[in-house]
């Protein structure tokens, strides 16, 4: 099992299964390179083109809490920055509000998921940019690697 590589698709599939089994409703999901997820466009952009847009890998809701996931097979600081822009820049609020208009969402958290074994000093040093970080283990379990808001997912 030492040489087993967890792909971004496996991270997404593992999360989808565990979230669904824990009572979360999946609003949207996107497998790597598929473009099937929900495109969030910059505020004021009414074009269907995805220039400067973001497609979260998973958007899920349970009760009044919504989670946005960016899933990866490795740690990349650009993914932390992209996720942080959703939290702090308010550049995608029009599409997020439209997407969630039929739900009673009181809190949205934005985070990243990747293989647990990829957790390192660089990920830890940049964790402040996101609301949570989940790790997927080789045996398809999830670990909270960073969870300052005590989000209960499972």
The CATH number of residue 63's host domain is: 3.40.1350.10
The percentage of the chain sitting over the pLDDT mark of 90, rounded to a whole number, equals 80
Instruction: Quote the pLDDT of residue 134.
Output: 97
Residue 87 lies in a domain: yes
97 contacts: CB under 8 Å, gap ≥ 6: none
Residue 134 lies in a domain: yes
Q: 137 lies in which domain range?
A: 8-146
Q: How many domains does the chain contain in total?
A: 1
Instruction: Quote the pLDDT of residue 64.
Output: 97
Residue 2 lies in a domain: no
DSSP structure string for 100-140: TTTS---EEEEEEEEEGGG--HHHHHHGGGSSEEEEE-TTS
Distance (Å, whole) CA 97 – CA 74: 30
Whether 3 has a pLDDT exceeding 60, the answer reads no
Residue 78 lies in a domain: yes
120 or 33: which leads in pLDDT: 120
Residue 132 lies in a domain: yes
Which tokens belong to 113? 């998921």
Nearest Cα neighbor of 27 from 83, 86, 96 is 96
pTM > 0.75: yes
Residue 41 lies in a domain: yes
Condensed to tens digits (0 to 9), the pLDDT of residues 28-85 reads 999 877 778 999 988 988 766 667 789 999 999 999 999 999 999 999 999 999 999 9
End-to-end CA distance of the chain: 25
Instruction: Quote the pLDDT of residue 70.
Output: 96
Bridge partners for 135 per DSSP: 114, 143
Condensed to tens digits (0 to 9), the pLDDT of residues 8-20 reads 999 999 999 999 9
Residue 152 lies in a domain: no
Q: Please state, rounded to an integer, the average pLDDT across all residues of the chain.
A: 92
Q: Where are the alpha helices (DSSP H) in the chain?
A: 8-21, 77-88, 93-99, 121-126
Beta strand pairing call for 142-146 and 58-62: unpaired
Mean pLDDT of 105-115: 97
Instruction: Quote the pLDDT of residue 52.
Output: 78
Which tokens belong to 64? 């009044």
Residue 154 lies in a domain: no
Whether 123 has a pLDDT exceeding 90, the answer reads yes
Whether 1 has a pLDDT exceeding 50, the answer reads no
């Amino acid at each position: 099992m030492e040489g087993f590589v967890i792909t971004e698709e496996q991270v997404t599939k593992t999360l989808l299964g565990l979230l669904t089994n824990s009572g979360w409703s999946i609003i949207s999901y996107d497998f790597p390179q598929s473009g099937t997820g929900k495109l969030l466009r910059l505020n004021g952009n009414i074009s269907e083109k995805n220039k400067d847009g973001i497609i979260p890998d998973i958007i899920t809701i349970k009760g009044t809490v919504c989670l946005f996931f960016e899933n990866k097979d490795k740690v990349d600081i650009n993914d932390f920055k992209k996720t942080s822009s959703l939290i702090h820049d308010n550049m995608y609020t029009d599409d997020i509000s439209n997407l969630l208009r039929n739900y009673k969402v009181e809190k949205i958290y934005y985070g990243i998921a990747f293989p647990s074994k990829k957790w390192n000093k660089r990920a830890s040093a940049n964790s402040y940019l996101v609301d949570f970080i989940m790790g997927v283990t080789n045996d398809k379990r999830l670990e909270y690697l960073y969870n300052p808001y005590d989000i209960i997912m499972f």
